[in-house]
Chain A
Amino acid sequence: MTLNHYLVLSFILFILGFAVLSLRRNLLIMLMGVEIMLNAVNIALVAFSRLHQGVEGQMAAFFVIVLAAAEAGVGLAIVIALFRKRASVQTHMFMDLRDRVTRS
C-alpha cells in the first residue's frame, strides 16, 4: 500500500466521476458524478496528509466534505426547481440559453 496506490485510486475515481458528469444526461446522476470527483480528491488529500504526517490535508478534506454537502443541497434544490418547470431532469430539456447565430 504505497502512496501510488492511493493516487491511482483517486485518479480512477476522478475520471469516472468526470465521465459520469460529462456523459450522462440526468441531472441527478451528474450530481452524483460531482460527489464522486470530490471524494476522489479527498482520498488524495488524506493520502498526502498521511505521507507528510501533518493535519493540513485532513483539514482540507473536511472542508471539501462540507463543501460537497452544501453543493449537494444547492444542486438538489436547483434540480427540484427545474423539475417543476419541465417535469423532467434530462439536460436536453433545458437548452433555452443555447444561442444560434443566424447566418446572413
Chain B
Amino acid sequence: MDLAVILLLPLLGSLLNGAFAVKASVTKRPLPELLIAIVGVLFPFLSFLIAVKASLPFLLNGQLAPTQEHLFDWVVSGPFSVSASLLLDRLSVVMVLVVTGVGTLIHFYSRGYMHGDAGFARYYCYLNLFLFSMLVLVLADNLLFLFVGWEGVGLCSYLLIGFYFTDADKAAAGKKAFVVNRIGDFGFLIGLFLILGQLGMSVSAGENILSFNYLMQHVEQLAPVAGWVTFCLFLGATGKSAQIPLYVWLPDAMAGPTPVSALIHAATMVTAGVYMMVRLFFLFNYDLAPYTMQLIATVGAATALFAATIGLVQNDIKKVLAYSTVSQLGYMVLGVGVGAYGAAIFHLMTHAFFKACLFLGAGAVIHALHHEQDIQKMGGLKSKLPVVFVTFTIASLAIAGIPPLAGFFSKDEILFQTYVTGHRYLYTVAFIAAGFTAFYMFRLVALTFLGKSSLEHHGHHHAAHVQKVPFSMQSVLVVLALLSVVGGWVGIPDALGHGLGLHNYWQAWLPFGVGETSLEGHNVHSLEIELAFISALWGALFVGLAIYIYLKKPAWPQNCAQKLKWVYALLREKYFIDEIYNALIIQPIKSVSQYVLAKFCDQGIIDTLFIKGLAFFTQVGGGLVNRFQNGSVNAYVLYFFVALIGLLTWALV
C-alpha cells in the first residue's frame, strides 16, 4: 500500500489546509500559521519518507521488476477497461524522489517566504494538491490515469500562478498558463484516441489497454499511426514542458509566488512532458516515428537557443530564470529527440536541483528587498546576503556547465549523445546555447550580488534596510546547493570517471537505448573527453566574460544596445512572439467569435430566424387556423365532411 499512501498524504494535507482556509474565511480569523505549515510540510515530508522506503529495493537490492498496485477499476465498458493503478519502476523512482524531495524542501521554504500572507492556508492547500497531482502523473501505470495527473497539475498551476488573483495581470497569467496548456492537452487527447482507435479493434476483455505494459507489448500494432501518435503526444509535451510553440505561458507564470515558480517550473510540472515521452520511449524511437523524432530534437535545440537569447537581456530576476528554464527544458527535449532518454531524465533531475535552488535564491533576494525584482536596481548583495550569494552562485555554476557540478555532467551527456547520433547541426545550436546560458546566468549573478549596490541610486527607500532571510529559507538553499554540486556524480561518464574509480551508475540505472553511433568504443571515449573538455572551457569562458563585462565595463552593454538597437529591441521584446500570436491567432479568433459567430450565427441566424421566426410563424399560423373556429355548427359540419372525403380518398387511393 506504500504507493497509494505516497499519493494520499499530500491530498490529505491539501484537504486539511483547504478546510482551514474555509474555516478562516467563515470565522474571519486566520488559524495559526504554525499549524498550517506543520500540516502543509509534514504530509509531503512523510510522503517523501515513504517514497524512499518504496524505492529502497530498487536502490539497494537491484530490484528490476516494477512494483504495481491496483487501486480500483476505474472505467469498465465492454472489453475496454482502465484501472486506477500505480506503477513504480526505475524511471518513476527517480521522478517520485525528485518530486517529493524537492517538493518537500519547497514546502518548507514557503513557510518563511509566505509568512504573513493572507492566503497562507489557501497557498498550502494548492501546493499540496499540486504535489498530489504530480505524483498521480508520475506513478500512473496507464496513459489515461497519467492524464488525470496531467490535468491536475494544469489546474493547480492555474490556481498557483493566479494566486494573487486580485491583481488582474496576475490572474491573466494564470489563465494564460491554463489555456495554452489546454492546447497541448488537446494534442495529448488526440494521441490517446489514435492509440485507442488502433488497438481497440483487437482488445480482448480484461486487458488494460492503455497501460504502459500493454502498449509496450503491442507496439508493433501501433506502427501505422506511430508518427501521428508521437506528434500529437509531443504537442502535449510542448505545452507542459514549455517548448516552441507553446512556451509563452512560462515567462508569464512568474506572476505567482516565487516558491511556486521553483516547484512548478523547476522540479515538477514542466518536466511532465519530458517524463511522458521517456515513459513511452518504445513509441518515441527512430524505427517507428523517425520524422517526429527529428522534429522533437529540432524543436528542443531551437527552444534551447531561442530562450537563451531572450534570457540575455531580461532585467527581471525571475524572467531570466524563466527563460533559462525554457532553455534547459529544450535540452531535455533534445535529449529525448536524439534517443538519449536516460540523459534527458538525468538532466531533468539535476535541473530540478539547481533550478529550484536558483528560483528559491531569487525568492530570497526578492523577499529581502521587499519585492524588488529589477536586477538593474540591485547589486552588492554579496555582503548582505552571504548564504544566498554562495548558494545562488553554486547553482549558477551548475547550470553554466562548470565541472564538477551537476549540470556539467547531465548537459554534457545530452550534448555528447546528440553529437554521436549524428545531429551535428543540433549539437552546434545546443553548444552555442550553453555559452549563452553561462553568460546570462553570470550577468544575473554579477548584477545582483557583485559590484556596488545600485539601490541608493534609484532612491530606494528601503536602501539601508535589507530584510533578514529566515532560517527556513536559508537551510533549504543550502540543501539544494549541495544537491547541485553532487547531483551529477551518479552519472559521470566512464570515459572521465574511470580513472578515478567512479562508476556510471546512471547509465546502468536507466539503460534505454540511444541511437546508432557510427563510432568504435575507444574512439567514443576519446571523443567524449574532448567534447567535455571543450564544453567546460566554453562555459568557463562565458562565465568569466560575463563577470568581467558587468563588473569592469558596465558601460559596454549599454553601448552594445545602442549600436545594435534593433537586435536589442528584438530580444527585449522577446521576438514579439506574444504580439505575433496575438495578431495571428488570438485576434482572428476574437473577430470571428465576435462578428461571425456572435453577430451573424447567434444573433442573425439563431435569434432572428429560428427563435423569432418560429414565434412569428406560429402566431401567423395560429391566426389563420383561428378563422376556422368561428362557432358556426354548419361550418364545422363542412370541415368534418371535407375531412372525411379527404380521408376516404387517401384510404382508397
Question: Which one of B120-128, B254-262, B558-566, B634-642 is at the interface?
Answer: B634-642
A interface footprint on B605-644 (CB within 8 Å = 1, 0 otherwise) = 0000000000000010011001001111111011001000
B interface footprint on A82-104 (CB within 8 Å = 1, 0 otherwise) = 00000000011011111111010
Q: Are A22 and B638 in contact (CB under 8 A)?
A: yes
Q: Are B634 and A99 in contact (CB under 8 A)?
A: no
Q: Are A95 and B622 in contact (CB under 8 A)?
A: no
Given contacts A18-B641, A22-B641, is CB(A91)–CB(B632) below 8 Å?
Answer: yes
Given contacts A22-B637, A22-B638, A22-B641, is CB(A92)–CB(B623) below 8 Å?
Answer: no
Q: Which residue on B lies nearest to A34, using beta carbons?
A: B637
User: Please, how many angstroms separate the alpha-carbon atoms of A91 and B633 in the complex?
Assistant: 7
User: Please, how many angstroms separate the alpha-carbon atoms of A41 and B622 in the complex?
Assistant: 37
User: Please, how many angstroms separate the alpha-carbon atoms of A101 and B638 in the complex?
Assistant: 22
Given contacts A18-B641, A21-B637, A22-B637, is CB(A92)–CB(B626) below 8 Å?
Answer: no
Closest Cβ of chain A: how far from B436's Cβ, in Å? 73
Contacts of A59 in B (CB 8 A): none
Select one of A21, A22, A24, A98 contacting B630, CB under 8 A.
A98
* Chain A, range 1-36, C-beta contacts under 8 Å to B: 18, 21-25, 30
User: Please, how many angstroms separate the alpha-carbon atoms of A101 and B629 in the complex?
Assistant: 10
Q: Are A24 and B634 in contact (CB under 8 A)?
A: yes
Which of B622, B629, B634 is the most central at the interface, judged by chain A CB atoms within 10 Å of its CB? B634
User: Please, how many angstroms separate the alpha-carbon atoms of A51 and B629 in the complex?
Assistant: 44
Q: Are B634 and A98 in contact (CB under 8 A)?
A: no
Q: Are B632 and A101 in contact (CB under 8 A)?
A: no
User: Please, how many angstroms separate the alpha-carbon atoms of A56 and B559 in the complex?
Assistant: 121
Q: How many residues of A contact B (CB 8 A)?
A: 18
Contacts of A96 in B (CB 8 A): 631
Contacts of B638 in A (CB 8 A): 22
Q: Are B641 and A98 in contact (CB under 8 A)?
A: no
Select one of A25, A97, A100, A101 contacting B634, CB under 8 A.
A25
Q: Are B633 and A101 in contact (CB under 8 A)?
A: no
* Chain B, range 358-408, C-beta contacts under 8 Å to A: none
Q: Are B632 and A100 in contact (CB under 8 A)?
A: no
Which of A22, A94, A98, A100 is the most central at the interface, judged by chain B CB atoms within 10 Å of its CB? A22
User: Please, how many angstroms separate the alpha-carbon atoms of A103 and B641 in the complex?
Assistant: 30
Contacts of A97 in B (CB 8 A): 631
Closest Cβ of chain B: how far from A37's Cβ, in Å? 10
A interface footprint on B223-251 (CB within 8 Å = 1, 0 otherwise) = 00000000000000000000000000000
Q: Are A91 and B641 in contact (CB under 8 A)?
A: no
User: Please, how many angstroms separate the alpha-carbon atoms of A99 and B637 in the complex?
Assistant: 17
Select one of B626, B629, B631, B634 contacting A21, CB under 8 A.
B634
Closest Cβ of chain A: how far from B173's Cβ, in Å? 51
Select one of B626, B631, B641 contacting A101, CB under 8 A.
B626
Q: State the 6 A-B residue pairs at the shortest beta-carbon distance, nearest first.
A: A98-B631, A95-B631, A22-B637, A22-B638, A101-B626, A22-B634
Binding site for B on A (CB under 8 A): 18, 21-25, 30, 91-92, 94-101, 103
Could you list 11 A-B pairs, sorted by A, with CB under 8 Å? A18-B637, A22-B635, A24-B634, A91-B632, A91-B633, A91-B634, A95-B632, A98-B629, A101-B622, A101-B623, A103-B619
Q: Known A-B contacts: A22-B634, A103-B623. Give 14 more (CB < 8 A).
A: A22-B635, A22-B638, A22-B641, A91-B634, A94-B633, A95-B631, A95-B632, A96-B631, A97-B631, A99-B629, A100-B626, A101-B622, A101-B623, A101-B626
